[in-house]
Structure 1
Amino acid sequence: MTLRVAAIQMCSGTAPERNAATMAELVRDAASKGATYVQTPEMTGALQRDRAALRAALRGEDDDVIVRTARALAAELGIHLHIGSTAIGLADGKIANRGFLFGPDGAKICHYDKIHMFDVDLDNGESWRESAAYTPGETAQVVDLPFGQLGFSICYDVRFPELFRRQAVVGAQIMTVPAAFTRQTGEAHWEILLRARAIENGFFLVAAAQGGVHEDGRETFGHSMIVDPWGRILAEAGPSGAAVITADIDIAAVAAARGKIPNLKNARDFSVASAGDSAPTTGGVAA
């Protein structure tokens, strides 16, 4: 089956209402180009370093402006709309970095909470502690849609190949990586990580990114990307600013790539032994 997919690049500020309006304009543009699956980046609703301000702006899922706008847009345009993520207030007072998928009728199909927290210390004093504000998710999922099986990740998840492999093993044909990669890490690793995940699992990959200098002072890498199962870049945005990229993808290419290099089928359990270890651990990929 062939469909047109779109990745929306944004440079989200600190005001969710303003970001929602920008998102709506870009999603309508993508739909006008024929896209029936549209993805927005991580933290579409706001990029906000000030934790007090972030918490003050938090809403529950039912009251969130990005969620409300996305529901209406999906129904208005008759598309599958994937909000890469936005910050959602939880009942226990914590925060989820949560992605949403809405169907052409505007109903929520599912949500995904980012599993791996971006807790890093980079060069030049750049340091991030996502776990200080967000509660990690615990469940990955693959959803069966009319055009194929869709798997979910968010940003830093891309550095954990086992998450992608397990979703491929249970049938994912399109993998999603909405992100807000820093400029420093993006320059070093963004393209190679996306292409590697697509190649080693034989699926399409759609990665909508934040790009540019944001109101809260951070700088993100941009370069939203759509990659095919052979690792070819089908579409790519620039380093900064709003953009809409589209690509026509044929789901049959997934089976073709996996048929040529059937590494999902060829995977074997194995053990890992270290010197002096009489009880090696068992490795491999669980379905």
Structure 2
Amino acid sequence: MGRSLKVAAAQVGAVHRTTSRAEVLDRLINLVTDAASQQVKLVVFPETTFTTFFPRYYITDDAELANYYELETAETGPVTQTVNVKAFFEKAKELGVDVQIGYGEDTGNGRYNTAVYVSGKTGDVLHKYRKVHLPGSTEPFDLDPNTTNQLEKRYFLPGNFGFQAFRATSLKDDCGGASPIVGQLICNDRRWAEGWRCYGLQGVEILCCGYNTTAYAPQLWGGDQNISREKAYADAMFHHKLVVQAHAYTNSMFCITSARAGTDDGRHPLIPGSMIVNPEGYIVAESKTENDELVIATIDLDDCKQGKERTFNLGKHRRPETYGRLVEEGGVKPPPER
């Protein structure tokens, strides 16, 4: 293999509203420790990994809400140094494993749905990404605590870093002396083609994506209120795999997707579907449970070359002069009737 690298998606099972921070941290440390024992060099964790997926709840207690974020200011330092999660990053550095992990970020001036990529060699944050495509609404559509709301627009600001690729310099020696080119997305971002193409135009070889995707919430979705749990689960899994496999293929990159899975609080089911997809769009490894689980594969980054140099040679075949509408229009604008 030319530029081989052993990678893993770290799926995390149910995390309830009452699950303690200490318990979650222990589980995450166990996952990264297990990965290191199998010579994995990069582990990708889910969206908002350190807590339950709190945007499903309408939270009026400011103290409870604040507990779901990591405070990052000039005084506290980066997330790798914050008191609630520092032990996780210290363990990853001790083991020499690169990690990408999602969390709620509080800058003191704004809150974001964020993921960081951290070097296993130095413990430094190599890159930070903030979720761009926030789904849902600002106000709850139902105040019943058993209802799954989607209030990311209430609890987060849209990401303001764009889709900037970076070099995982910590993995240079593991990849034949050429640092992997990495991109990041979070959950709903994977459904939007624009971010993938931005990364494709930067030559990304590994796309890291953590997510929390509900498996059954008919009131939230609207439409068919009588949809069965089995049909809703199947649809959610189909669409998750569809967009990841299609966009990995059309941008000639590997994708590592990691789920927060299981049923939170006994009533909020999330799909699994953690997987590693190759540049041809094939799933090379995927989760088998809805629990904490490592999905591991050895990938060869040279496999990106066929697509990047032939089928999807962007510099050779794209016609950007015809794509103006993509940035000129923010929404649907049908042609006029004749």
TM-score (norm. length: structure 1): 0.87
On the 8 A contact 2:275/2:285 being kept in 1, the answer is: yes
Q: What stretches of structure 2 of length at least 5 have no aligned partner?
A: 142-146, 173-178, 216-231, 326-332
Superposed CA offset, 1:214-255 (max 9, x none): 138421101101000001101100351110011111110001
Matched, 1:258 2:337: no
Matched, 1:267 2:318: yes
Deviation (angstroms), 1:257 = 2.5
Deviation (angstroms), 1:260 = 3.6
On the 8 A contact 2:197/2:251 being kept in 1, the answer is: yes
How far apart, CA to CA, are the structure 1 residues paired with 2:313 and 2:186? 24
Evaluate the alpha carbon distance shift between residue 216 and residue 261 of structure 1 in structure 2; reply closer, same or farther with a 3 A threshold: same
How far apart, CA to CA, are the structure 1 residues paired with 2:58 and 2:31? 27
On the 8 A contact 1:227/1:234 being kept in 2, the answer is: yes
How far apart, CA to CA, are the structure 2 residues paired with 1:29 and 1:221? 23
Superposed CA offset, 1:156-184 (max 9, x none): 00111111101110121111111111114
Q: 1:161 aligns with which of 174, 190, 193?
A: 193
The within-5 A match list for 1:99-110 is 99-103=115-119, 104-110=121-127
User: Which residue does 1:28 correspond to in 2?
Assistant: 33
User: Which residue does 1:113 correspond to in 2?
Assistant: 130
Identity value in percent: 24
On the 8 A contact 1:98/1:114 being kept in 2, the answer is: yes
Evaluate the alpha carbon distance shift between residue 33 and residue 167 of structure 1 in structure 2; reply closer, same or farther with a 3 A threshold: same
Q: 1:170 aligns with which of 194, 199, 202?
A: 202
The within-5 A match list for 1:204-219 is 204-215=254-265, 217-219=267-269
On the 8 A contact 1:70/1:81 being kept in 2, the answer is: no
How far apart, CA to CA, are the structure 1 residues paired with 2:37 and 2:244? 27
On the 8 A contact 1:71/1:108 being kept in 2, the answer is: no
User: Which residue does 2:164 correspond to in 1?
Assistant: 141
Evaluate the alpha carbon distance shift between residue 108 and residue 143 of structure 1 in structure 2; reply closer, same or farther with a 3 A threshold: same
Secondary structure at 1:4 match in 2: strand
Q: What stretches of structure 1 of length at least 5 have no aligned partner?
A: 278-287
User: Which residue does 1:68 correspond to in 2?
Assistant: 86
Evaluate the alpha carbon distance shift between residue 188 and residue 65 of structure 1 in structure 2; reply closer, same or farther with a 3 A threshold: farther
Displaced runs of 4 or more, over 3 A: 56-59, 61-67, 271-277
How far apart, CA to CA, are the structure 1 residues paired with 2:29 and 2:89? 11
Deviation (angstroms), 1:67 = 4.1
Evaluate the alpha carbon distance shift between residue 211 and residue 275 of structure 1 in structure 2; reply closer, same or farther with a 3 A threshold: closer
Superposed CA RMSD: 2.4
How far apart, CA to CA, are the structure 2 residues paired with 1:212 and 1:276? 47
Superposed CA offset, 1:30-69 (max 9, x none): 1111110111111111113353323244331346456413
How far apart, CA to CA, are the structure 1 residues paired with 2:34 and 2:4? 20
Matched, 1:78 2:128: no
Amino acid at match of 2:125: K
Evaluate the alpha carbon distance shift between residue 69 and residue 118 of structure 1 in structure 2; reply closer, same or farther with a 3 A threshold: farther
Q: 1:202 aligns with which of 252, 258, 262?
A: 252
Q: 1:191 aligns with which of 231, 234, 241?
A: 241
How far apart, CA to CA, are the structure 2 residues paired with 1:276 and 1:89? 45
Superposed CA offset, 1:83-116 (max 9, x none): 1x11122212x42211111112212212111111
Q: How many residues align?
A: 273
On the 8 A contact 1:98/1:111 being kept in 2, the answer is: yes
TM-score (norm. length: structure 2): 0.74
Deviation (angstroms), 1:133 = 0.9
How far apart, CA to CA, are the structure 1 residues paired with 2:248 and 2:213? 18
On the 8 A contact 2:58/2:149 being kept in 1, the answer is: no
Amino acid at match of 2:87: T
Secondary structure at 2:70 match in 1: coil
On the 8 A contact 1:73/1:106 being kept in 2, the answer is: no
Deviation (angstroms), 1:127 = 4.3
Secondary structure at 2:210 match in 1: coil
Evaluate the alpha carbon distance shift between residue 215 and residue 173 of structure 1 in structure 2; reply closer, same or farther with a 3 A threshold: same
How far apart, CA to CA, are the structure 1 residues paired with 2:82 and 2:16? 16
On the 8 A contact 1:199/1:230 being kept in 2, the answer is: yes
Structure with larger Rg: 2
How far apart, CA to CA, are the structure 2 residues paired with 1:162 and 1:275? 22
